[in-house]
Amino acid sequence: MKAAMMSVLAAVSSVSAMELNQWSGKSLVKLNLNTAEEQVRFAQLADKFDLDVWNRNIDTATGASTVEVVSDIHLDTFQQEVVTPDLETYFADFFATEPVCNNDPLYCIGNATKSGTDSFYENYQRLDTIFAKMEAIDTSSELVDSFSIGTSFEGRDIRGFKITGASGFGGDKKIAVYNCGIHAREWIPPAFCVYAIETLAAEYGNVPEITSLLDEFEVHTIPIANPDGYEYSHTTNNNWRKSRKPNAGSSAMGTDLNRNFEFQWGTGGSSDQPSSDSYKGAAPFDNLESKALADYWDSLSPRAVVQMDIHATGNMWMYPMGYKPRSQCLTDPRGCGVDNEDDFDAHETCGQASRSAIADVNGFDFAVGPITWIIYQASGSTCDHAYGVSGIRWAYAIEVRGPGFQPNPSQIVLSNTELYAGIVAQMRCIVDY
């Protein structure tokens, strides 16, 4: 009982500390971008005003798309509708009615007594709870091992765990690496990085397709790639995206870790202003978290064949390149893909395999294509570096279901289930390719 009361108090205090007034006067609007001219004009505005894009749907046949964007500037030259009129009220309601379980093992870990499901996946969890859950899965399965890829700026462990079939890790097994939580406020993906290992462990030996795949693959996940930002997004600012490293000569904190990778760093679609949400850092890899990920991928060479960076939100299943400007793919996605045509085909083929497996689960449809074609130019990203430097052929960056970065937690289970089908289809596609 005492533990329960402490949990409630902790939840309340974290809500009151949250900087909800940052949302004052802001709404979420959906813009229709029907022509190439509108898309280029929006891309320029997004870059200039550092617009906060939450969602994008693209009709890959016609190129027409819609974007959901946080609006506090005039966007009325586009055809638009209001999605959420008052984001301050929206988040105040959200945090009042959806308590975060705050490190309390009674309420967060493996508590299958309520409605026969695991309450871990019924809410967004804090870092310690996620680590405890990972340890519990590791302890309960002989197939699972834990590891650490490094330490964050504020000294937190960047933990991962991995699974393979009964013959063990190593040999000539292929490796698929999935990382979640590089953008702090995107709370829905980390649950998947835990769920994937837990479900693979439960299905090995019981589901023939999973047994077969895990006899050929090691699957590694890093659930919280940006632990400092993730905790800050829970305690203080639920819209925090970046790392928590101070910037010399500026009061603005943090770097967009997904613009801090070395390959084609700073060549477009990132900012040199520390106050920007897409700040690329003062130099490539001047943040411990991005460097730790890249070093980890390099350590797995040449066995690593998949690296997928999982974001929210927007039903997009993207592959390299992100650094190429939109002008190279106004009408043909191939213009923004990798130069190697065989690899482009490999990205597209296995991306479509994931898309179709996901659509079979919940009917949720992902758009598949190069980053710039699907969303916007973004250099110095995980995906480009994994392919361009670490030599990982199937590099993807995906945006999962929303709406928003912190949708109702009821979406977590749906997202987990469909993404799991997506990665199983991905590994099958690669084995058969």
Return the active site residues: 399
For 372, residues 6+ apart whose C-beta sits below 8 A from its C-beta are 269, 321, 322, 323, 324, 325, 326, 328, 329, 336, 378
Minimum distance between the CB of residue 158 and Zn ion, rounded to whole angstroms? 17
Interface region with Zn ion, contact rule CB under 5 A, candidates 33-41, 142-150, 189-197, 310-318: 310-318
- The CA angle 288-109-237, to the nearest 5 degrees, is 45
What secondary structure does DSSP assign to 309-378, as a single string? EEEESSSEEEES-SSS-GGGGSS-GGGGS-S-HHHHHHHHHHHHHHHHHHHHHH----EEEEHHHHT---
Q: Which is nearer to Zn ion, 50 or 343 (CB)?
A: 50
- Residue 311 binding Zn ion, by CB under 5 A: yes
The stretch near Zn ion (CB under 5 A) out of 47-55, 91-99, 100-108, 176-184 is 176-184
Candidates 413, 398, 336; CA nearest to 370 is 336
Rg (the chain; Cα; Å)? 21
Q: How far apart are CA 401 and CA 27, in angstroms?
A: 20
Which one of 30, 133, 162, 183 is in contact with Zn ion (CB under 5 A)?
Answer: 183
Phi, psi of 94 (to 5 degrees): -60, -50
**Contacts with Zn ion: how many residues (CB under 5 A)?**
2
Residue 229 or 369: the one with the smaller Cβ distance to Zn ion is 229
Sole window of 214-222, 223-231, 305-313, 423-431 interacting with Zn ion (rule: CB under 5 A): 305-313
Which two tokens mark 337? Answer: 């893909």
Question: Is the Cβ of residue 311 or residue 355 nearer to Zn ion in the bound state?
Answer: 311
Position 324 contacts Zn ion (CB under 5 A): no
Cα distances from 148 to residues 145, 156, 177, 221, 382, in angstroms, run 11, 10, 14, 11, 18
Examine residue 242 and tell whether it contacts Zn ion (CB under 5 A). Answer: no
* Least spacing, CB of residue 186 vs Zn ion, in Å: 5
Residue (218 or 309) nearer to Zn ion, CB: 309
- Considering only the stretches 101-109, 135-143, 159-167, 177-185, report the one whose residues sit in contact with Zn ion under the rule CB under 5 A: 177-185
Min separation Cβ 233 and Zn ion, Å: 12
Closest contact distance (angstroms) between CB of 392 and Zn ion is 19
Under the rule (CB under 5 A), what is the footprint of Zn ion?
A: 183, 311
